[in-house]
Structure 1
């Protein structure tokens, strides 16, 4: 099917640095894999933390592994209101000048000084997929969603790496707004 790719809805989650993992779970702690995710080498962990903002708390935020160089907490717009943080839609990894909050784990807590974002919608693809779709890394494309609540997503970031599997990611709020489900095929237009 020409120009079709699968979509996945992403719920709130956190990527931790080893430093923050140590503060929350104890020195030298290693994450325990719960299940593999669609992107090679990425996995949901058994561990969860609580996120504490100026106005509220979200308990049981799933950690995704492996550890990263910097801690990043990906939330929805509704989560930002609940927590009382003023964040922006950002490309994953673009965390400079973003808000932070407090994380609480079983062995301690840590204050993030940055890293809370609403992740921008994006597509992961490898170089072969990029040739097929005729796109380059960091292109912005449009994606058409069919159905009774169909819509067109604009400004969808393309991320290309040979370590990626073909899949578009949107947050749960965006997915629910158009009635799309995990694994459905959407069209790059």
Structure 2
């Protein structure tokens, strides 16, 4: 048996075993950022409308011109960007490295699941807001419209494993949550710690490995 033929057979066996999806999903690397309610935003930026700096891939979402300083008892992070549009809850999404810099124990949560999370202070040049809760490390997740989710055979809230990374530093990320909405564009969101671990930079893609 020729070497190339043997390699093709082995590749097929591995692919069939892992059930790797054929379609690749773009990866979006999320740096630390903040979501705010209209009330909190107005307290931090009175008479200053939120301004678009850069539109993001998900429809209607953008990085704002406005930034804040995130303050804990043991440290601070400056120029943390606000993401728009304004939401029904205020939330600060950080990495594990950020949490260590702030001297905080921050849980890994799906966005919006902020009950029981630690509070944190947000400071602008106009004032400050002390959030009673809302500091999280965002759980890795994949945005999919329903048609693509059906093609992949995955459901809302399901956790899958995902193959990501460069050829010399690829990794499998487990417990990646599927989020389905027909307004979504297919995209996987990971934080900067996860991206660095897998040597992800520029245009990168992920493949779902169904568990």
Same fold (TM over 0.5): yes
The answer to whether the Cα contact below 8 Å between 1:8 and 1:182 also exists between their aligned partners in 2 is no
Partners of 1:21 and 1:187 in 2: how far apart?
37
Higher strand proportion, which one? 1
Pick aligned residue for 1:122 from 134, 138, 141: 141
User: In the TM superposition, what is the alpha-carbon distance from 1:182 to its structure 2 partner?
Assistant: 4.1
Q: How does 1:56-95 map to 2 (within 5 A)?
A: 56-95=75-114
Residue 155 of structure 2 corresponds to 136
The Cα offsets for residues 50-80 of structure 1, whole Å up to 9 and x where unpaired, read as 0110100101000000000110000001111
Q: Which moved more, 1:78-87 or 1:158-167?
A: 78-87
Partners of 1:170 and 1:22 in 2: how far apart?
29
Partners of 1:89 and 1:98 in 2: how far apart?
10
Q: Which runs of 4+ in 1 moved over 2 A?
A: none
Partners of 2:203 and 2:143 in 1: how far apart?
14
Pick aligned residue for 2:67 from 48, 51, 68: 48
1:158 maps to 2:185: no
Residue segments in structure 2 that go unaligned for 5+ positions in a row: 1-20
The answer to whether the Cα contact below 8 Å between 1:9 and 1:182 also exists between their aligned partners in 2 is no
User: In the TM superposition, what is the alpha-carbon distance from 1:8 to its structure 2 partner?
Assistant: 1.3
The Cα offsets for residues 12-57 of structure 1, whole Å up to 9 and x where unpaired, read as 0000111110111115x42101110011010000000101101001
Partners of 1:182 and 1:26 in 2: how far apart?
36
Partners of 1:165 and 1:53 in 2: how far apart?
35
| TM-score (normalizing by structure 1) | 0.96
RMSD between superposed Cα atoms in Å: 1.2
Higher helix proportion, which one? 2
Pick aligned residue for 2:193 from 151, 173, 185: 173
Residue 123 of structure 2 corresponds to 104
Q: Which has the larger radius of gyration?
A: 2
Partners of 1:114 and 1:182 in 2: how far apart?
33
Partners of 1:155 and 1:101 in 2: how far apart?
27
| TM-score (normalizing by structure 2) | 0.86
Residue segments in structure 1 that go unaligned for 5+ positions in a row: none
1:9 maps to 2:35: no
Paired residues, number: 188
The answer to whether the Cα contact below 8 Å between 1:10 and 1:169 also exists between their aligned partners in 2 is yes
Q: Which moved more, 1:143-152 or 1:105-114?
A: 143-152
The Cα offsets for residues 106-164 of structure 1, whole Å up to 9 and x where unpaired, read as 21101010000000000001011101111111010010125211110100000000111
